[in-house]
């Protein structure tokens, strides 16, 4: 190559790299910054000499998404399309970095807009971000801790209504910074995306440890970044991504130390940290301890390090007993006790997972058998035992297999590394790997939002659901005294943003409800309630019901709105004292004032907080 050609390629490459990164930064800024919305809308209004409609917000955000996508594609073109020595003379280490960079770029392009656009709304002129309602429960505990009230749901009431101690503590640390409530959620969302990116190199390392080559690396990474279920939880506010990252790192370290017979204390401390991230991950920790004993010859060191590391969960358990007076979190009693249909629900949940991932599981089993390696047999056995545990506890109420997210990448690695070891020609290995990728993993598809939260399909759409709950919380904060009591089935966004005493009708943060027998056979955590106690004894000022009057009143009794929703409507206490007093504000659910509250006379005097309902459903436009 002549000096002139080399200089020309360098200038072109520098220009394209600058353009690509500029578009990525511009797109991200547009999607994340409220002040850019205000600036652009004000400029357009000035030019048009009239106020602009809220549809312009969607137009601006669409431009931001297009800029982000275009910048990522330009960066990918520069990397793949222009001459580079590193692409022609790759070593294994360089190949690892190349694959990691490509997978990260694809992940950012596909996942980041989900968090920035799909989880945001403009309410009363301010942009808010949201995530799963259970994550907002942790946010309420975190804010109370940061404010000096304690790690509690309501001041003075010690009930452990969360199961993600370290994640909640992280949220509390964020709450110490001078950020408004509307922006802390964004930081949590971006944290999960960053953790999802951090998983990419760990997956490459795990593939190498299990004997997989380039084909296994490429297909595993493609399966991960294109996975519908991984993206659903990687762009949400709960702890599965942190748990996945720590589980995979610990697994890699155990495999390495098993090969070298040099166990290290830090590895076992990572294993012991899992139950602090999510309490029921004690199962994953136990399985990793067992794997270590099976694959490491230095049993004495393994036992010493395991016993030492157990001081971490033991200390947390002592704290739980001292602070909350319980051996288990309140949600464990709620979801896994006094419920006759628990095993049926758990089996249904696991069978749904098997149905979606049957091909992947088949190749994982075949690959392990072909490999004949003890470590892979141990990993497969751990996955099967964990599946049995998920069945035992009754599964989960959420879609997208939250409980399987930590072990899903491991299943992918076992399957694709196993395919590469099959005694068939390389071309057939490629064909089988692609078949497993396309048919064995539910991939991201258009209309993604309806598949992320399938249990919410009977509500208008996820945008209205989650942003609408933020608006309800803000309405309560804006229009009610600070001493008001609010009862709701949704124990996340409404209690968090209302900052009022909250009564959880489904008992996640209610000691009494959690220990009752299950009333119905619905999802775990949604089948225990007692309105004679929650309404008749606790006497809330306001009840936020899961139906909208008058449109849905004729649907009551038809089983379309959910068991506990309809039982509330027909409950005699609610019908006598609350149902006649709806608040005169249009929300996606109905707020009622109970007649024992002094606020009943002000039900028609509430001030409105507008919500931009002109946005399409959160991800249909991507």
pLDDT in tens, 107-166: 988 888 787 777 888 888 788 888 888 999 999 999 999 999 999 999 999 999 999 999
Instruction: Please state the rounded mean pLDDT for residues 338-350.
Output: 92
- For 211-247, give the secondary structure using H, E and C: CCCHHHHHHHHHHHHCEHHHHHHHCCCCCHHHHHHHH
In the structure, what pLDDT confidence band is assigned to residue 17 with cuts at 50, 70 and 90? low
pLDDT in tens, 66-93: 776 677 777 666 665 555 444 333 444 4
Q: How much is the pLDDT for 551?
A: 75
Where do we find the tokens 């000035």? 46
Sequence-ordered list of residues with C-beta below 8 angstroms from that of 317, at least 6 positions apart, any chain: 327
| H or E stretch covering 516 | none
For residues 115 and 189, the answer to whether their CB atoms sit within 8 Å is yes
pTM given for the model: 0.84
Q: How far is CA 107 from the centre of its chain?
A: 15
Sequence-ordered list of residues with C-beta below 8 angstroms from that of 126, at least 6 positions apart, any chain: 34, 180, 182
| Residue 553 pLDDT greater than 90, yes or no | no
For residues 591 and 544, the answer to whether their CB atoms sit within 8 Å is yes
Least confident of 74-78, 274-278, 544-548: 74-78
Q: How much is the pLDDT for 47?
A: 56
Residue 40 CA to residue 50 CA, distance in Å, equals 14
Instruction: Please state the rounded mean pLDDT for residues 475-488.
Output: 96
Instruction: Please state the rounded mean pLDDT for residues 550-576.
Output: 84
Q: How many C-beta neighbours within 10 Å does residue 4 have? A: 8
Tokens for 341, please give them: 């249909």
Instruction: Please state the rounded mean pLDDT for residues 162-184.
Output: 92
Q: How much is the pLDDT for 618?
A: 37
| H or E stretch covering 291 | helix 282-295
Residue 361 CA to residue 486 CA, distance in Å, equals 46
Name which residue leads in pLDDT, 285 or 373: 285
| Residue 486 pLDDT greater than 80, yes or no | yes
In the structure, what pLDDT confidence band is assigned to residue 101 with cuts at 50, 70 and 90? confident
Where do we find the tokens 């004894």? 537
CA–CA distances in Å: residue 515 to residues 154, 340, 477, 486, 511: 19, 14, 31, 22, 7
Q: How much is the pLDDT for 48?
A: 58
Mean pLDDT of all residues in the chain? 85
CA–CA distances in Å: residue 267 to residues 249, 271, 405: 9, 6, 21
Q: Percent of the chain, pLDDT > 90? A: 59
Q: How much is the pLDDT for 399?
A: 85
In the structure, what pLDDT confidence band is assigned to residue 324 with cuts at 50, 70 and 90? very high
| Residue 502 pLDDT greater than 60, yes or no | yes
Query: Please, which contacts does 49-55 make with residues 24 or more away whose CB atoms are closer than 8 Å?
Result: 53/614, 54/122, 54/612, 54/614, 55/614
Least confident of 52-56, 189-193, 367-371, 482-486: 52-56
In the structure, what pLDDT confidence band is assigned to residue 561 with cuts at 50, 70 and 90? low
pLDDT in tens, 233-275: 998 899 999 999 999 999 999 999 999 999 999 999 999 999 9
DSSP, collapsed to helix, strand or coil, labels residue 124 as coil
| Residue 614 pLDDT greater than 50, yes or no | no
Q: How much is the pLDDT for 49?
A: 53
Q: How much is the pLDDT for 11?
A: 61
């Amino acid at each position: 190559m002549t000096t002139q050609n080399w200089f020309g390629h360098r200038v072109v490459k520098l220009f394209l790299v600058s353009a690509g990164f500029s578009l990525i930064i511009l797109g991200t800024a547009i999607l994340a910054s409220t002040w850019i919305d205000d600036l652009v809308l004000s400029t357009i209004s000035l030019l048009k000499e009239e106020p602009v409609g809220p549809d312009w917000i969607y137009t601006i955000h669409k431009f931001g998404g297009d800029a982000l996508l275009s910048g990522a594609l330009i960066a990918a073109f520069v990397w793949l399309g222009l001459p580079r020595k590193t692409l022609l003379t790759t070593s294994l280490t360089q190949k690892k970095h190349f694959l990691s960079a490509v997978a990260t770029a694809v992940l950012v392009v596909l996942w980041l807009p989900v968090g920035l656009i799909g989880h945001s709304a403009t309410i009363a002129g301010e942009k808010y971000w949201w995530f799963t309602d259970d994550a907002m429960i942790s946010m309420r505990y975190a804010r109370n801790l940061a404010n000096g009230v304690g790690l509690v749901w309501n001041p003075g009431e010690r009930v452990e209504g969360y199961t993600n101690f370290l994640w909640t503590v992280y949220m509390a640390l964020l709450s110490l910074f001078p950020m408004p409530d509307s922006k802390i959620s964004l930081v949590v969302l971006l944290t999960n995306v960053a953790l999802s990116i951090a998983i990419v190199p760990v997956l490459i390392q795990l593939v190498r440890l299990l004997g997989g080559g380039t084909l296994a690396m490429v297909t595993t990474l493609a399966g991960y970044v294109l996975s519908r279920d991984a993206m659903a939880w990687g762009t949400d506010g709960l702890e599965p991504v942190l748990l996945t990252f720590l589980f995979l790192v610990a697994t890699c370290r155990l495999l390495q130390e098993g090969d070298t017979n040099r166990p290290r204390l830090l590895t076992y401390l990572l294993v012991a940290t899992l139950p602090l991230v999510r309490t029921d991950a004690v199962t994953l920790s136990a399985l990793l301890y067992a794997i270590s004993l099976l694959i490491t010859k230095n049993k004495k060191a393994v036992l010493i390090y395991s016993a030492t590391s157990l001081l971490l969960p033991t200390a947390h358990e002592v704290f739980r007993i001292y602070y909350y007076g319980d051996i288990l979190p309140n949600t464990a009693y709620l979801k896994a006790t006094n419920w006759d249909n628990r095993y049926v629900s758990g089996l249904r949940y696991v069978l749904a997972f098997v149905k979606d991932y049957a091909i992947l599981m088949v190749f994982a089993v075949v690959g392990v058998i072909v490999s004949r390696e003890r470590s892979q047999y141990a990993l497969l056995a751990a996955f099967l035992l964990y599946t049995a545990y998920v069945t035992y506890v009754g599964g989960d109420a959420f879609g997208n297999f939250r409980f399987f997210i930590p072990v899903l990448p491991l299943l992918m690695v076992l399957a694709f590394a196993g395919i590469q070891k099959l005694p068939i020609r390389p071309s057939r290995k490629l064909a089988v790997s692609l078949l497993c990728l396309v048919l064995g993993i539910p991939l991201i598809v258009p209309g993604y939002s309806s598949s992320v939260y399938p249990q919410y399909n009977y509500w208008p759409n996820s945008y209205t659901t989650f942003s609408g709950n933020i608006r309800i919380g803000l309405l309560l904060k804006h229009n009610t005294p600070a001493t008001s009591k609010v009862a709701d089935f949704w124990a996340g966004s409404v209690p968090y943003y209302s900052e009022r005493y909250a009564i959880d009708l489904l008992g996640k943060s209610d000691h009494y409800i959690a220990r009752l027998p299950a009333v119905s056979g619905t999802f775990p955590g949604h089948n225990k309630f007692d309105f004679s106690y929650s309404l008749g004894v606790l006497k809330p000022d306001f009840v936020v019901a899961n139906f909208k009057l008058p449109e849905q009143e004729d649907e009551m009794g038809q089983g379309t709105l959910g068991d506990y929703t309809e039982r509330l409507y027909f409950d005699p206490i609610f019908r006598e004292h609350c149902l006649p007093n709806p608040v005169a504000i249009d929300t996606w659910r109905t707020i009622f004032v109970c007649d024992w509250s002094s606020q009943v006379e002000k039900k028609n005097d509430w001030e409105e907080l507008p919500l931009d309902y002109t946005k399409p459903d959160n991800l249909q436009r991507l």
